[in-house]
Amino acid sequence: MNEAPPASSGHVSPPADHADKSRTLVQRIADLRAWLFLAALVVGFEIWSRTAFGGTFIFNPFNITSIAIFAVAPLLLATGQTFVIISGGIDLSMGFIMGLAAVVAAHVINWAAPTMGEPMAVLFGTLVAVAIAMIPGFVNGLLVSRLRVPPFIGTLGMFGVARGVAFLLAGGTTVPVKNGFFAALGNGRFLGIPWIVIITALFVLVMHYILSQTRFGQHNYAIGANEQAARRAGIDIKRHLLRLYILSGICAGLAGVLYAARFTAGAAQAGEPLLLDSVAAVVIGGASLFGGSGTIFGTVAGALVIAVIQYGLVFINVEPFWQFISVGVVIIISVLIDQAQRRISGGRQSE
């Protein structure tokens, strides 16, 4: 055996922890792969930009803000999705919950502005939209936790319901918002940084705190790894899952409000193309779709990777369809790295 301390004879001592230090280095690198991807992409676009146009890509503040604004909505969806995926589930309804929230925010802000004044109407509309977004989240939570519907199916049903309700409320069209304060929130800046980026950054920090520093976050990891162990440890899984899907609804609701602010209009299809981007961001960020692993900062990197690819390819004037191919390739590479890492570190996902 290893260099287990020579215990008194006749007594077999459990060996000291003999985990290999070099493994942790490989793991660290694999954990940071999304950031490495991001760095490689930025360097690649920078080189291309300098050779092709003789101009800088990343040192141009306009590009940076554009990418950040681009990443806002997918990132908000992806933070909620990170929690859900770590728990071993998935939330397919987020995109249309976002659309629903955008439509509700537009209607309520328009309706409330004459009586409350513009700023209060925006606050009120935001609260109502996020509260409405919690309802489909609540139903998702009930389906998954109490009725034991698989998350994929339950949230797929809610995908349809939220979509239909959003289009009905919007009357099949987009709902313009006439509110100067809301438009300033969606397009204005503070110290050169767009307000919606600041709001998103603060929200992401709060979500990071919840995932990494609270019991809720800790239980989320435990449930994703071994639900039975979590139950035996006395964790109330039903209550946890209910709150989890409500949280996911809140993320989608906030994304919808910020979308409505940016475009000064609510659209039911606002989040439609973003759902799969959100799942992709989580996976590129290092989470496992089997549950039990993932971080918010990894997801931030994953969302930025997607945004940089999408914006960068437009910037260097490549046909937009290459975006799909590039994002797809990055997802596949990311999953391959994940699996290689598990093999190296002797993970037990095949148990």
Partner 1 sequence: MSDQPLLETRHLSKNFGPVQALSDLSMHVNAGEVVALAGDNGAGKTTLIKAISGVYRPSSGQVLLKGREVSFSSPQEARESGIETIYQDLALADNLSIGANIFLGREPMTKKFGFLPVLDRKKMADAARSTMALLDFHVNRLDAPVSNFSGGQRQAVAIGRAVYWNAQVLIMDEPTAALGVPEQRKVISLIHQLKAQGRGVIFISHNLQDIFAVSDRIVVLRRGVMAGERRISDTSHDEVVKLMVGG
Q: How far is the CB of 223 from partner 1 (least distance, A)?
A: 8
Q: Which of 69, 71, 235, 337 binds partner 1 (CB under 8 A)?
A: 235
Q: How far is the CB of 244 from partner 1 (least distance, A)?
A: 16
**DSSP one-letter code for 54:** S
How far apart (Å, rounded) are the C-alpha atoms in residues 217 and 215?
5
Kindly state the tokens that stand for 263. Answer: 């475009």
- Contact between residue 222 and residue 94 where contact means Cβ atoms under 8 Å apart: no
Could you tell me which residues come within 8 angstroms of residue 122 by beta carbon, excluding any fewer than 6 positions away? Answer: 109, 179, 181, 182, 185
Q: How far is the CB of 42 from partner 1 (least distance, A)?
A: 30
**Candidate ranges 32-40, 132-140, 149-157, 226-234; the one touching partner 1 (CB under 8 A):** 226-234
- Contact between residue 334 and residue 66 where contact means Cβ atoms under 8 Å apart: no
Kindly state the tokens that stand for 165. Answer: 């309700």
Q: How far is the CB of 3 from partner 1 (least distance, A)?
A: 11
How far apart (Å, rounded) are the C-alpha atoms in residues 13 and 8?
9
Q: How far is the CB of 4 from partner 1 (least distance, A)?
A: 9
Per rule CB under 8 A, is residue 292 in the interface with partner 1?
A: yes
Q: Which of 114, 232, 320, 350 binds partner 1 (CB under 8 A)?
A: 232
Q: How far is the CB of 283 from partner 1 (least distance, A)?
A: 17
Q: Is 287 left (phi over 0), alpha (psi -120 to 50) or beta?
A: beta
Return the residues of window 185-224 that contact partner 1 according to CB under 8 A.
209, 213-215, 218-219, 221-222, 224
Q: Which is nearer to partner 1, 14 or 114 (CB)?
A: 14
Q: Which of 105, 130, 230, 260 binds partner 1 (CB under 8 A)?
A: 230
How far apart (Å, rounded) are the C-alpha atoms in residues 203 and 212?
14
Q: Which of 65, 66, 187, 226 binds partner 1 (CB under 8 A)?
A: 226
Per rule CB under 8 A, is residue 13 in the interface with partner 1?
A: yes
Could you tell me which residues come within 8 angstroms of residue 346 by beta carbon, excluding any fewer than 6 positions away? Answer: none
Q: How far is the CB of 53 from partner 1 (least distance, A)?
A: 46
Q: Which is nearer to partner 1, 11 or 148 (CB)?
A: 11
How far apart (Å, rounded) are the C-alpha atoms in residues 260 and 197?
14
Q: Which is nearer to partner 1, 219 or 262 (CB)?
A: 219
Q: How far is the CB of 123 from partner 1 (least distance, A)?
A: 25
3-class state of residue 147 by DSSP: coil
Q: Which is nearer to partner 1, 56 or 214 (CB)?
A: 214
Q: Which of 7, 43, 206, 333 binds partner 1 (CB under 8 A)?
A: 7
| Binding residues with partner 1: total (CB under 8 A) | 37
Which candidate, 256, 251, 255, places its Cα nearest to that of 105?
A: 256
Per rule CB under 8 A, is residue 339 in the interface with partner 1?
A: no
3-class state of residue 49 by DSSP: helix
Beta bridge partners of 193: 190
Give residue 278's Cα distance to chain centre. 5
Sign of CA dihedral 206, 137, 265, 306: positive
Which residues form the interface with partner 1 (CB under 8 A)? 1, 5, 7, 11-17, 19, 23-24, 209, 213-215, 218-219, 221-222, 224-226, 228-230, 232-235, 292-293, 345-348
